[in-house]
Amino acid sequence: MSAGGPGGEAHGGVAPGKIIAFGVLGGLIGIYGAHFLSIINPAFSFIGALGAICAIVWGADAVRRVCSYGLGTGVPSIGMIALGMGVIASLFGLAVGGIAGPIVALIAASIIGLVIGLLANKVLGMNIPIMEKSMVEIGGAGALAIVGLSTTMAGTFMFDEVLALVVAPGYIAVIFIAGGMGILHPFNACLGPDEEQDRTLAVGFEKGAIAMIIAGIVSMVISTTAAIPAIMIGVFIWYISFAKFYELTKRDAYKVLGTGLLPTEEELQ
Amino acid sequence: MIDIAGILMENISYVLLITLGGMLISFSVHFVPVGGAPAAMAQATGIGTGTVQLAAGAGLTGLVTAGTVMQVSDNPPLIIAAGAVGAMIMISVTMIVGTWVYVYGVGVPPASAKVKYDPITKDRQDLYVSQGTEGHGLPTVSYVSGVIGGLLGGGGGALVYYSLMSAGMDTGMAMANLVGLASIFAVGIFFVNAVIPSYNIGGTIEGFHDPKFKKWPKAVFSSLIATFMCALVAVLTIGGL
Amino acid sequence: MEPLIGMGVLALMGAAATVAGASEDLESDVGSQSNPNSQVQLAPQMMYPHRIYNKAISGEPPSNALMCAVGGTVATVLMSAYNMSPVFAIAMGALLAAIVHGTYSVTAFFGRPTSQKRFKQPVYLDILWSHTPVIMGYSYITTFCILVISYLMVAVLGHPFPLPLLAFIWGIAIGAVGSSTGDVHYGAEREFQSVEFGAGLNAANSGNIVRKGESGLRNGFDNSWFCAKFGGPVTGIAFGMVVFLSGWVTTVFDPARGDAIGWLSVIAGALLVLIMILWNRKIEVAARAAYGPYKEDEVAA
């Protein structure tokens, strides 16, 4: 894996503050919306996964900002640490928080992230200026993604149901890796000197939609009513974001060719 | 709300054991000879993959073995030893097949560029390093170092899993729920403690003879703090049910 | 459980693991993934544009863990919610996992070359259309075999972990094995066949990968054809050995029959490791004798 180049601040695009607000608010609204509306009708549980998509896009943007500095090791490591702390914090939040569970999860993940960020800079001497802030964001995004997807799978974020329906059968493993890949893959896939924020985040939406489809499939265990909207809407978001990504690829690429020979010597000059 | 202080007092020994396990995992990563991308081109000594990846692969294989043994035995040293052996087997097999590829597929003898003589076999190293590279393959010292890494990492992972399971045993939680929680928490704690040391060593290391190895106290100290927090949170979740 | 049944199941798991290992390695060769891909990534920057797939889906362990976890999840849902037969459920799970893996491959293939606009690396759609189905095919085989292993462990050997989690862990393990063994054959040999055999990659040659094939321009198929001769099979042997040996010690010396037997399993495992340390040493000595030093000792000369 190639690291993120010699480094420097990520450039351009939507300001970090807006994406943080989008991730936190979108994530929490989605999770609470799914929780309360599912009581009326299980079909509404898909809203939790929409919240998870917001969180995944936020996480992908945070990865993009921190990895632009070059970590000395591959981009994937930061996604794995995010989900490692995220899974512990989010299950803790749901277990002790009751109705405030998702918020407790977000706070717990942020605190663990802050400590790991401080350790990385102060003890390990990584000296990345935004490390603390980014680890808080990535941990929080990981926790919201896990809670959001769990809510769609179980139809609620009450711990007993999540434990019995998501953790015990092992579906938490797929949340762990699909959420983690959703956060780390967009920047990793678009890594390079001509990376653009909108193209990277389009991949974030696309990977979030895949996680949503998988969460929808798992919710079949509870009710088909819950599964169908989640899968359909997931496929729809996937198609829209993939089409957008392909369009941006055609905008940004040197050339998109059906086939052809390599560029000639003169062309490369 | 749950009685936080009460649960912590009851389970404080498990919190400490989980923290110890995390520190062992963190320490173990420093032993795993990983050369990162250059090693995959026989351009650096060690295995041609990332630190996190190989440590996690070995440690989690150990976790599977520990899970098998934990189901039929409640003898902690045996469970931890089983985890350690599982991880050691995984990493030994990977390294021996890696050696086949380097020697028979690429045609290079194992050699380290960080030391002049292999500290174990006393073989001369620098003459066997091909031009323009930082060594290649797995000389005996790196191989033994990797095995030690597997031993510590697998043992640490098993210790974390054992402590989490034990913390939940007397809460009367259904077995499937407890195994599900303990195993995903163990995986999470494993990843946190595999990433911290890999940031410490910058992603590559040859083994315990590498000068970078001396940096281990920094990573182990960081893991002490990070794992302690994770352990508190995990034990509260499991013990609070 | 009857020890003989245990051994039979273990043999089946070992066989499935061998197939999975080989297909995992060839999947990463045809698409060019993980560490050797860093050279494919570097090449355009060094003025060597190419027609090789650039499948930068993180490292192999997370990407394999993803497809195995997706497959395990879908299979478990089908088995628990619809009572489908395990074989059908596993096949469906592997199919969905292959599709998900395909989307990850495509985004990486579009993303990386596009972000190298200034080095004038074109995006060739025929490479996408021809290689992606092959990548998905290999990933289907890998996922199917891993799910067979995980299912046998849960259903027959009575492992306590749930199926999706076991599949996830074996996915991490197979990715770690594959990127440590077979990939070296692709990275150190196939990508740099133009330089003399028997040396590591000289840093001066970085990025100068072979871009021309036996016929036409080289692509991922040519690479997997080459790696199928050595890198793929040895990866299969490696992962087969991991699954077989780590299960073998606890099947032959079953800890359920008492702690003393359990300790025997630990000793047996440690002995296996010791044998491998000695074996590695033997190969090291033989290689040093056969290939000789690259340069003379200046003091002696």
Which chain C residues have a beta carbon less than 8 Å from that of A170?
72-73, 76, 161-166, 168
Do residues A135 and A117 make contact, with C-beta atoms less than 8 angstroms apart?
yes
Residue C84 carries which DSSP code? -
Amino acid at C197: F
d(CA A94, CA A106): 10
**DSSP classification of residue C95:** H
Could you give the CA distance from residue C174 to residue C20 in angstroms, rounded to a whole number?
Answer: 8
Q: How far apart are CA C69 and CA C168, in angstroms?
A: 5
C162 with B176: Cβ contact below 8 A: yes
Give me the pLDDT at residue B193, please.
Answer: 92
Report H helices in chain A.
16-40, 46-67, 76-97, 101-118, 131-154, 159-162, 171-189, 197-218, 224-252, 265-268
C residues 43-82 near A, CB within 8 Å? Answer: 47, 49-51, 56-59, 62-63, 65-66, 69-70, 72-74, 76-77, 80-81
Instruction: Report the range of poorest mean pLDDT among B120-129, B142-151, C128-137, C169-178.
Output: B120-129
Answer yes or no: are the C-beta atoms of C38 and A75 closer than 8 Å.
no
Instruction: Indicate the average pLDDT of chain A.
Output: 88
Instruction: Give the closest of C184, C263, C269 to B40, CB-based.
Output: C184
Question: Chain C: residue nearest B85 by CA?
Answer: C269
Q: Which domain holds residue B72?
A: 4-239
Could you tell me the CA-to-CA distances from B193 to A55, A116, B165, B179, C127 in Å, in that order?
A: 24, 11, 19, 21, 39
User: Mean pLDDT, to the nearest integer, of A18-42?
Assistant: 91
| pLDDT for position A1 | 34
* pLDDT at position A112: 92
pLDDT given at position A3:
36
- Crossing angle of helices C60-82 and A76-97, rounded to 10°: 40
CA closest to B215 among chain A residues: A124
Decide: A199 and C111 in contact? Cβ < 8 Å: yes
**Does the beta carbon of B5 lie under 8 angstroms from any beta carbon of chain A?**
no
Residue A6 counted as domain residue: no
The conformation of residue A7, written as its DSSP 8-state character, comes to: -
Q: How many CB atoms lie within 10 A of CB A111?
A: 17
| pLDDT value at A52 more than 90 | yes
Average pLDDT, chain B: 89
Q: Comparing A218-222, B123-127, B201-205, C53-57, which segment has the lowest mean pLDDT?
A: B201-205
Round to whole Å and give the CA distance between C121 and C143: 32
Q: At what angle do helices A76-97 and A101-118 cross, to 10 degrees?
A: 140
pLDDT at C214: 84
Q: Domain range for residue A124? A: 16-254
Structural domain count of chain B: 1
Structural domain tally of chain A?
Answer: 1
Kindly list the distances between the CA atom of residue C231 and the CA atoms of A45, A230, C95, C212, in Å, as whole numbers in the listed order: 46, 42, 25, 21
Task: For residue A81, give the nearest of B185, B195, B202 by CB distance.
Answer: B195
Q: Residue B124 — φ and ψ, nearest 5°? A: -70, 135
The reply to whether residue A96 touches residue B2, judged by beta carbons under 8 angstroms, is yes
Torsion angle of C-alpha atoms C206, C212, C217, C219, degrees rounded to 10: -50
Report how far residue A142's alpha carbon sits from residue A208's, in angstroms, rounded to the nearest whole number.
12
Compute the distance between CA of residue B102 and CA of residue B33 in angstroms, rounded to an integer: 15
Cross-strand pairs, C124: A257
By the CB < 8 Å criterion, does C97 face chain A? no
* pLDDT at res. A72: 62
Find tokens 């028997």 and name the residue. Answer: C198
Q: What is the pLDDT of residues B56-103, one digit of tens each?
A: 888 898 899 999 888 888 889 999 999 999 999 999 999 999 999 999
Mean pLDDT of B116-137: 89
pLDDT interval class at A107 (50, 70, 90)? very high
More confident residue, B203 or C6: C6
| Residue A11: partners with Cβ closer than 8 Å, 6 or more residues away | none
Nearest CA-CA partner of C5 in C13, B182, C238: C13
Cβ–Cβ gap A77/B50 under 8 Å: yes
Cβ separation B180–A170 shorter than 8 A: yes
Considering only CB atoms, which chain B residues are within 8 Å of A76? 50, 52-53
In this prediction, residue A10 carries a pLDDT of 62
Which parts of chain C have pLDDT scores under 70? Answer: 1, 297-301
What is the pLDDT, as a whole number, of residue B73? 85
Nearest to B109 by CA among C196, C290, C277: C290
For chains B and C, count residue pairs whose Cβ atoms are closer than 8 Å. 302
Q: Closest by alpha carbon to B47, among B188, B234, B203? A: B203
**CA–CA dist C131, C300 (Å, integer):** 54
